[in-house]
Amino acid sequence: MAAGNGFFAEVNAAVDRAVALMEFEPGILEQIRACDCVYRVNFPTRRDDGSIEVIQGWRVEHSHHRAPTKGGIRYSMMVSEDEVTALAALMTYKCAIVDVPFGGAKGGLKIAAWKYSPAELERITRRFTFELTRKNLIGPGVDVPAPDYGTGAREMAWIADTYTMLHPGDLDTLAAVTGKPVTQGGIRGRNEATGRGVYFGIRETCEDEELAKKWGMTHGFAGKRIIVQGLGNVGYHAAKFCQEGGAVITALAEFDGAVHDPNGLDVEAVYHHFRETGSIRGFPGATTLERSAEALELECDILVPAALEGQITGENAPRINARVIAEGANGPVTGEADAILRARGIGLIPDVYLNAGGVVVSYFEWIKNISHIRFGRLGHRLEQQHSERLLRAIGRMSGAPEMPDDEFKRITAGSDEVSLVNSGLEDAMITALGELRSVQRENREVDLRTAAYVVALTKIRRAYDELGLFP
C-alpha cells in the first residue's frame, strides 16, 4: 500500500503480504481485517481557570474473536481515528502472536497531556471512563484498557477507581484496566514490561545464528552497537536492559535532539540528565546532535525506534546505516520505507512481535485481578524450603565448605511475583519468535514481519473456526 493512505491501510498492506502465502476465502479475510466497533466521543471539561474545553476521543474494538478486547489509551495531539484504528488492529495481531487470549482494541484522547494540570487530567480521565462505561466499552470481560503514550499508572488508577464507583458490589472491577500501580491492583514488572520484551526479542534474534548471518552480523548479542530513539517508558527500559545484557548503547535520541558516543553511553546517566534538565542535549562527554532524526542515520548494528509511528520513511530509509531495525514503537517504519529497507538487505524485527511485552504482562495482571491472589504467594516459601533442603543435602554428601549466607539465600530464594512475571514474559517472547522462524523456514524469502502476520492470521482464523462463525 502506498504511503499516504493512512496507518490502518499500511497495517492491512502487511496483512495482504501474509495472505499471499495462505489460503483465505475473501469473506473471512474481510471479517478479520475489518474493525468491529469505532466509538467517537466529545465531552466538555472545565479547566482550572474556569473555562470550558471540549475533548475529542475514540475507543476502537478491532476484533471480538476473543473476549475481552485489550489495548492502551494514549493522550496525544496526533491521535486520530485512523491512528487508533490501526493500533487496535495491531493489538489483535499482537495478542495472537504471543498467545494472549484477547481481541485488539485501542483508545485515545486528542490532548497534549503536558498542557494540563494533574487535577484537569484527572477530570478528563474520569469523564472518559464514564463515557466508555455508559456505552459498555470497558469492563473485565468486555474491553480492558492499559497505558500508552501520554498515560501511565496514575491515569489507570483513576480509570479503575471510576469504574469501581460505577459498579458497586462487583469484586472484579480492578480487572477492568491494567497498568495500575501495584498498590491499586497492579502487578510487579508491568511498568518495564514492553522495554524488557524488546530486549528479549532483540537478544533472541541475535542469538539465532542463521538470522545473524543473513543480516550481516556476528552471532550473539554481547557487544552489539545499539541506537535507541525515545527515552519514554519503552525506549528507556529497552536501552537499559540491552546495556545490562552486554550491548553498547552508542546513541540516544529524544524530541529535541540526540547524544552520541561511539564508545558507549551510560543509559542511567543520560536518563538522569534528561529528567533533571528536561533535555537530552548537552550530556557531558557526548556529542550533541541538533535533530533527533540525525541519530537514526548513524552507523550501528541495531536501530531501535521507540518513540512514535512514521519515523523511518521513504525519504530517510536510503540513509539508514543499521544492519537491523528493531521496532520498539508501533509503526515506526512506513510501508514505503519497509520496502526500501528489505531491498537493501536490512533486517527488521517487527513491532507486532517485538513490543508485545506490555500486553503479555497486562494479561498476567488481568489474571491476578480476576483470581484475587498475588503470583507466587502460595508456593514461594515452599519452593524456598525445598531448595534449601536440596542444597544442604548436596553440601553434606560432597563435603564442600559451607556457603556464605548471602550466596545461600540468593540461590535458594523462591519465585516471587516479579521473577514469575519476567520468566513468563521471556518464555512468551522466545516461543513467539520460534513460531515466526518456523514460518520463515517454510518460506525462505519471507521477511520476519510477514512471518509474524502469517502466525497471527493462522491463529485468528482458527479461533473463528472454533466459534463456528464461518460454517
Set of cell numbers at residue 345: 538487505
How far apart (Å, rounded) are the C-alpha atoms in residues 444 and 390? 47
SS3 149: coil
Taking CA atoms, 57 is separated from 8, 52, 84, 152, in Å, by 17, 16, 10, 17
Q: Which of 94, 106, 224, 240 is catalytic?
A: 106
Which has the closest alpha carbon to 191: 234, 158, 155?
A: 234
Angle between the N-to-C axes of helices 7-19 and 81-97, in degrees from 0 to 180, rounded to the nearest 10: 30
The residue whose grid cell reads 528536561 is: 278
Strands 300-305 and 225-229: parallel
Strands 103-109 and 287-289: unpaired
Report how far Cα 196 is from the mean position of its chain's Cα atoms: 9
Which helix (H) or strand (E) is 43 found in, with range? strand 37-46
How far apart (Å, rounded) are the C-alpha atoms in residues 122 and 46? 11
User: What's the CA dihedral at 55, 60, 66, 67 to 10 degrees?
Assistant: 20
Set of cell numbers at residue 218: 556476528
Q: Is 70 a catalytic residue?
A: no
Angle between the N-to-C axes of helices 357-371 and 193-206, in degrees from 0 to 180, rounded to the nearest 10: 130
Which helix (H) or strand (E) is 82 found in, with range? helix 81-97
**Which residues neighbour 169 within 8 Å (Cβ) at sequence distance 6 or greater?**
none
How far apart (Å, rounded) are the C-alpha atoms in residues 232 and 264? 20
How far apart (Å, rounded) are the C-alpha atoms in residues 49 and 109? 21
Q: Is 265 left (phi over 0), alpha (psi -120 to 50) or beta?
A: beta
How far apart (Å, rounded) are the C-alpha atoms in residues 45 and 54? 6
**Which residues neighbour 294 within 8 Å (Cβ) at sequence distance 6 or greater?**
253, 258
How far apart (Å, rounded) are the C-alpha atoms in residues 283 and 304? 20
Active-site residue set: 106
